Amino acid sequence: MDYIKQNLRLCAFARITKLIIFLFFSISTFAQIDRVEPPFWWNDMEHSDVQIMFYGKNIAENQVSVSNGIIIKGIQKTENPNYVFVTIDTKNTTAQNLVFTFKNKNKSFTQNYSLKSRKENSRDRKSFDSSDMIYLLMPDRFANGNTNNDSHPSVIEKADRTKIDGRYGGDIDGMIKNLDYIKDLGATTLWPTPLCEDNDERGSYHTYGQSDVYKIDPRFGTNEDYVKLSNELHNRDMKLIMDYVTNHWSYNHWMMKDMPTYDWFHQFPGYKQTNYKTTTHSDTNASETDKNLATSGWFVKSMPDLNQKNPLVLNYLIQNAIWWIEYANLDGFRVDTYPYTDKESIALWTKAVTDEYPNFNIAAEAWLYSHAQISYWQKDSKISAIQSYNSYCPTVMDFMLQTILEKGVLKEEKQNWNEGVTKFYDTFSNDFLYPNINNMFVFAENHDTQRINFVYPKFEDYKITMALIATIRGIPQLYYGSEIGMTGSKNVGDGDIRREFPGGWSDHKQNAFTKEGRTAEQEKYHAVTKKLFNWRKNKEVIHTGKTTHYIPENNVYVYFRYNEKESVMIIMNNSVEKQKMNINHFKESIKNNTSGKDVLTDKSFDLKNDIEIEGKSVLILELK
């Protein structure tokens, strides 16, 4: 009996030992792959040759195969044995689960990979355009919807609202909870600054130095939360723009710590700052030294510059962009520091995205100080065509308009021949340089500029500014908080122009998200903003109409937006004095219309007589 018991114990021990060994090797084999990017893909994509990056200790030492008869079109290894890039052909395949096998001599392990079904009509999704109004916000400073994620153990910087550049706790939940407020204001599209993980030690709240471009920063939420934000917007017939960064990552990006190739990032070796002279792209007199430093130098020391000339890097960025569009059902991109990249590479990136989604709109941040230089970066530009270049980027940002507003054009009340609102006239007289004038971001400010209410503390100037942004050609963009008179000075620091929205935190004494919570002054700002942009929503004449403008006199600027169906006359008096408008001077645009009704006051004007307009005011007349 003891002999039998002993044998039973030995058999049990052997089984347990085998189980432990099995579990050990299972865990060990599983651990050999630390990352797979993209984490999954879709069948029936234009980008059907998907290049999958597998990352793990010495993974390149293995032979790779894949199940289900899928063809491996290429296997690329680098000087770093921890990476292998495997390209498979997904054309004409179905949605299915694949198994990759990695084999080295007698040892092997596997990795599952999914090809998913695309959403219906995904390729032909409608993007943002000139019929939209974009609401720009900084997630960390807008609203804190979930206090449990203010800090997170997986990232370095913790919440600290005492610091001007600290993390404050705003998140995706905060945005979702206030979408009805944003829609009610007249916005149709949401543009949050980047949401992917930024694991810098400080100043990470703006998230332009990303440390993982396949993962939402845990202090904002999860990837699933981001998809929820997209769904919630679409449920309200609104759109979502992703702020995408092609130029640089964070120096704490996981790849910086174990580079796939030495030239994945630009090396000098290591850090060297850009000269910020992106005009070198078009400058026929520029030296090669200056050109190279403009695009290869690092934006700042904490943001290593990506080398898009490396085909692995470029394809990685293309696939990452497409992955987010398909995964989160996105409606557009705003691309940060667009001209700081290699111009041929960024054109390939842009074309690959728009080939996949022909109606997809991408807005380039081309922060330059001439119309020709900005126009250079718009798709089919005649300026860039001189150099046989096409960026393929549909939209550019009108920094010329923003610059003259920031420099105080509306403060120039006593007008000389080239001052005051004549600067508006002069800037719009350059519209002929742009191949698609309706595809321009028009804005008074954003998260990198002076607050417009700091530049112009008086409500009358804000009203003129918003009337301009709401009625000129292009796609209007409003920066969060301006609609309640929020201010802040870039001279104090970037954190001051990115303040908390009142009501976004539980300890705030007022809640400006509600009419009852706004002060009388805040409500004045909010009411005019809401009226303007809700009126604009259904105005095709503003979205795609033509423009005729007249040389300003006495600091009064008059322009018309018109199409075959209707006409709108905008009279902008920047003078402090009342002005009388000789109506016959505008007869060619007024035509047979006999009256005009002001959008903001509902007051009617007889167009048979001259019009008087109060000082520092604006009229938006729908002509009848």
Strands 189-192 and 239-245 turn out to be parallel
Q: Can you give the pLDDT at residue 11?
A: 43
Question: Which of 26-35, 37-46, 453-462 is predicted least confidently?
Answer: 26-35
Percent of the chain with pLDDT over 90: 93
pLDDT, tens digit (0-9, with 9 covering 90-100), for 553-581 = 999 999 999 999 999 999 999 999 999 99
Tell me the pTM. Answer: 0.94
Q: Can you give the pLDDT at residue 459?
A: 98
- Quick check: 20 pLDDT over 80? no
d(CA 31, CA 227): 28
Helix (H, G, I), strand (E, B), or coil: what is residue 41? strand
Helix or strand (DSSP H, E) at 294:
helix 288-296
Output the average pLDDT for the chain: 94
Known catalytic membership, residue 365: yes
Helix (H, G, I), strand (E, B), or coil: what is residue 113? strand
Q: Can you give the pLDDT at residue 418?
A: 81
Band of pLDDT at residue 7, cut at 50, 70 and 90 = very low
pLDDT, tens digit (0-9, with 9 covering 90-100), for 337-379 = 999 999 999 999 999 999 999 999 999 999 999 999 999 999 9
Q: Compute the average pLDDT of residues 447-470.
A: 98
- Quick check: 31 pLDDT over 50? no
Q: Are 122 and 113 in contact (CB under 8 A)?
A: no
Q: Are 67 and 98 in contact (CB under 8 A)?
A: yes
Band of pLDDT at residue 32, cut at 50, 70 and 90 = confident
Q: Can you give the pLDDT at residue 325?
A: 98
Q: Which of 171, 173, 356, 365 is catalytic?
A: 365
Query: Percentages helix, strand, coil for the chain, rounded to the nearest 5?
Result: 35, 25, 45
Tokens (6 digits) for 340: 């700081």
Band of pLDDT at residue 445, cut at 50, 70 and 90 = very high
51 pairs with which residues across the strands?
87
**142, 160, 61, 180: which is closest to 109 by C-alpha?**
61
d(CA 562, CA 471): 11
Q: Are 254 and 212 in contact (CB under 8 A)?
A: yes
SS (H, E, C) 146-208: CHHHCCCCCCCCCECCCCCCCECCCCHHHHHHCHHHHHHCCCCEEEECCCEECCCCCCHHHCC
Q: Compute the average pLDDT of residues 303-330.
A: 98
- Quick check: 66 pLDDT over 60? yes
Higher pLDDT residue, 412 or 85? 85
pLDDT, tens digit (0-9, with 9 covering 90-100), for 384-437 = 999 999 999 999 999 999 999 999 999 987 767 788 999 999 999 999 999 999
Known catalytic membership, residue 263: no
Order of strands across the sheet that contains 556-562: 546-553, 556-562, 567-573, 617-623, 595-598, 604-606
Percent of the chain with pLDDT over 70: 95
Beta-strand (E) ranges in 353-470? 361-364, 395-397, 440-443
Q: Which of 171, 305, 336, 342 is catalytic?
A: 336
d(CA 93, CA 515): 54
